A and B are shown apart, each in its own frame.
Chain A
Amino acid sequence: MSPPGHSARGLRRVAVTGVGLVTPVGNDVATTWDALLAGRSGGAPITLFDASGFSTRIAAEVKGFGPTLVDDRKLLKFANRSHRFALEAAEQAMRDAGIRPTAADATRWGCAVGTGMMTADYDDLAQTHAHCGMSGELDPRRLLDDGPANDPLVFCRGQAAEGLALLTRRFGIHGYATSVHTACASGGQAFGTALKLIRRGRVDRVLAGGFDSMISPIGISGFCLLSALSADNETPQRASRPFDATRNGFLLGEGAGFVVLEEWDMARARGARIYAELAGDGNSLSSYRITDSPPDGDGPIQAMHQALGDSGATPADIDYINAHGTSTSMNDRSESAAIRAVFGADVARVAVSSTKSTMGHLIAAAGAVEGVVCALAIARGEIPINANYRDPDPDCDLNLVVDAPRRQRVRMTMSNSFGFGGSNSCIVMRHPEEVDGRDGSGAS
């Protein structure tokens, strides 16, 4: 027998007790959830800059952001767009959990975040170009009196550790604080890191999440050059159609997703509302190509197996897979092969959707936002749809949730995130009643 609050493997259990979202389809959890159930796409022509010359002129932008819960102007002057999303989603999660670090327990709180790659702000770069780079190369002498290159605020906002600095300062977190970047797997890996931190006993609570915003001339350029984005400029709401035979690239999104994670018994002891158990993490490298997963799903398969094993589950226990499902030709084929390989006969039963069909691809925030989606699916007994699915692809023969959301008991979920560079993350969550007994009180 394992002690209460410990898994069958004797590890400390981890509860999701607070959630927060800023996404292209809603600046809070409730609005986002309604859109995900309805499959209301966040895709639209880009408004953040004049994208008329780019091959892709659409994206899923966060809309109407503000006024925000975090209005500390001293803090916000160090924050770029993605940091603002992070602060907002994290504040939502803390308020939702009804707990935050105090002077007495600050060292028992951790922070694990998936951080975007922090490409340069276009206006700053254009200013530096005009002053120091008209020849096409940087003239270092002219940098000495360049505006952005001498502005400490520009420096701070562009630092990979700035998001972590803002979050730990805002909430007074003094334990293990880390920032990870494995491209599109970042958010999932942040959740995995957070799970391990609580298991190790180094901290009792972790603020975990991901944030990103690449909808800028430089960010869009990077993806356009790789032909990774859908160029369905006339039909932005249909541009992301994961697993559909006509899919032709992803829709770039932006935003943040955060959770408050707590050691199970402590969450129970304070009467916290538990959305789900963060039950297991899988983490592998494809080591195939920098941008692709292999067609046979090698790499993702190991991550999914690990996550199941880590959570003490089998494929039969999983009711919902929130797929990575980017809507690129290669990813969706490779992921389908991996799901088939791992789930075997259960592939016909397990519900699958990619919420990127609605929100677009939030890159370093994707895994975190989709982890929140899984916690909500369990807590609400609702599975969001895979929007825009019309033409079946025989290579992607999955039990996709199309047309209408499913309302059912969701015992366990799996969330996949695969990144450029070959990192694969898989996160498994469990319904709290599957942990404590049917009444959910823990007194069974």
Chain B
Amino acid sequence: MSFTKVVITGTGAVCAAGMQPQAILDTILSGQSAIGPIRQWDTTQWPATQAGEIADLDPRKLVPDRKLHKLIRRTDLVGLYAASSAIAASGFVAYRDALAPDQVAPYNDRTGAIVGSGGGNFQNQYDFFPLMSAADGDLPAFGRELADNVNPMWLLRTLPNNVLGHVGIQYNLKGTNACITNHSVGGLLAVIEAMEALRAGEADRVVAVGHETPIEPQMVLYYHRVGLLAKNTLRPFDAAGDGSLFGEGAGALMLETEASANARGAPVIGAVLGGGYASEGQGLLAIRADGDGLVRAIGMALEDAGLAPADVGMIVAHANGTRQSDASEAAALRTVFGSTMPPVTGFKWAFGHLIAAAGIIETVVALAALKANVVPGIATLAKLDDACAGLAVSAQPRPPRSNVALVLCRGFAGTNAALLVRTA
């Protein structure tokens, strides 16, 4: 089956390791993790204290339109920033604005946005605390004094699809769209769905975005209580690995049909070759030890792209640092790649787990790494865990085997996604 070719004409990313894809890659290559002590609240006596926070996050630097700041959350700020970066790099706005007036509306109708977003967060709910204090446990009083104590825009600030709505308004995008609230796989699934929308002719251009800022007290505490967080360091596939750590940020890719990109001579960074997706259906937190869902997702992505395992030049693993996920991921990679495994790496050790943004920011960084002809090392890897034997990982940078990267992503509810991209 031959598909419409889907090309990448712009990328954007922001996380603790930097505000541009290249800067993030440079941090990773330096071997220094951007994860450090949480600064947003005092973590004295906390059982979990480390995360990849964006230092000195300045809303005005991320989203110049200050009127918007009252209507959105921290997670939306980073999402809009990454989306704007990818859109700016692609140059489609200037091209559209120079079109004949009667061609602008059809162009907008053929331009879409697909976003992977974290669902709710907890901090927004605390906006009700002053009201609860005023009502003193009396629900009728809570109702009566509501309007005096809570921002009238509270619900709008809380919408999980805010980045979708606001990126649409800012750039006048009118086409196909979705907001995927699928835990960690949301961002990578946004890329896969954007690719599919372009292949199916539903749109000519789609910006794919993933964003999340999970570093808040109640979220950190829950992840700690269910046993997912490391004490100090995120060490994927390592014998001393003891869990994951949060990061925050966003990634975005401007995807287009080749025809749309060629029409304005757009800079083509690379192409999206294929995607795969499968679930294990074992519950919210359960993962199968044999990596079944991931094996099927990778197989589907390879088939979709018409590639063999030997064609893959590097693998960006989910590598989240939890023992169960790492071991089952290693099992999946052994099953699919066996002795033809290309260099395997992961990026979460350097900026943390961005949840809904994880897969998409790692795709953006993978493209930068392929362009630089390097598979960055996992600097926190000291001794490969026995359960991860056979995995082609290294603490040192290596050259990729080809210009094709396989990006893997896994989330709650046993969901697994795989994406194949290549550089131009």
Contact = CB atoms under 8 A, between A and B. Distances in A.
B279 A53 contact: no
A53 B141 contact: yes
A67 interface: no
Given A161-B412, A422-B165, A174 B279 contact: yes
Nearest to A222: B155
Interface in A213-269: 217-218, 221-226
Given A119-B120, A224-B146, A290-B156, A173 B279 contact: yes
B282 to A, nearest CB: 6
Interface stretch (A89-97, A280-288, A329-337): A280-288
5 contacts: A133-B133, A152-B225, A160-B119, A161-B411, A162-B284
A182 B179 contact: yes
Contacts of B117: 181
Contact of A53 (B119, B122, B140): B140
A183 interface: yes
A287 B137 CA distance: 40
Contacts of A291: 156
Contacts of B137: 126, 130
Most chain A C-beta atoms within 10 Å of own C-beta, residue among B151, B189, B412: B412
A394 interface: no
Interface in B109-136: 109, 112-113, 117-120, 122-123, 125-126, 128-130, 132-133
B168 A169 contact: no
B34 interface: no
Interface stretch (B170-178, B230-238, B346-354): B170-178
Interface residues of B, number: 94
Interface string A408-443: 000000000001111100000000000000000000
Contact of B178 (A120, A189, A200): A189
A145 to B, nearest CB: 10
A49 B296 CA distance: 46
A420 B158 CA distance: 11
B125 A50 contact: no
Nearest to B155: A222
B221 A287 contact: no
A125 interface: yes
B67 to A, nearest CB: 12
Interface stretch (A110-118, A320-328, A366-374): A110-118
Interface in A192-230: 193, 196, 199-200, 202, 217-218, 221-226
A298 B109 CA distance: 10
Contact of A165 (B133, B143, B412): B412
Nearest to A289: B169
Contacts of A111: 279
A136 B129 contact: yes
A155 interface: yes
Nearest to B356: A160
B293 interface: yes
Contact of A169 (B47, B150, B180, B282): B282
B45 interface: yes
Interface residues of A, number: 91
A159 interface: yes
Nearest to B223: A155
Nearest to B293: A174
Given A202-B277, A283-B177, 6 more contacts: A54-B143, A155-B222, A159-B183, A173-B281, A181-B181, A222-B154
Interface string B393-414: 0000000000000000001111
Contacts of A180: 178-181
B36 interface: no
Contacts of B130: 136
Given A168-B413, A178-B182, A202 B284 contact: no
Contacts of B156: 226, 290-291, 420
A12 to B, nearest CB: 12
A379 interface: no
Nearest to B117: A181
A38 interface: no
A183 B165 CA distance: 11
Most chain A C-beta atoms within 10 Å of own C-beta, residue among B139, B145, B152, B281: B281
Contacts of B141: 53
A7 to B, nearest CB: 13
Contacts of A288: 169
A283 B176 contact: yes
A173 to B, nearest CB: 5
A138 B112 contact: no
A348 to B, nearest CB: 27
Given A160-B118, A285-B177, A155 B129 contact: no
A159 B118 CA distance: 9
B101 interface: no
Given A144-B45, A160-B119, A302 B160 contact: no
A134 interface: yes
B146 A283 contact: no
A302 B182 CA distance: 27
Contacts of A221: 128, 143, 146, 150, 154
B44 to A, nearest CB: 8
A284 to B, nearest CB: 6
A53 B143 contact: yes
Contact of B158 (A119, A138, A176, A284): A119
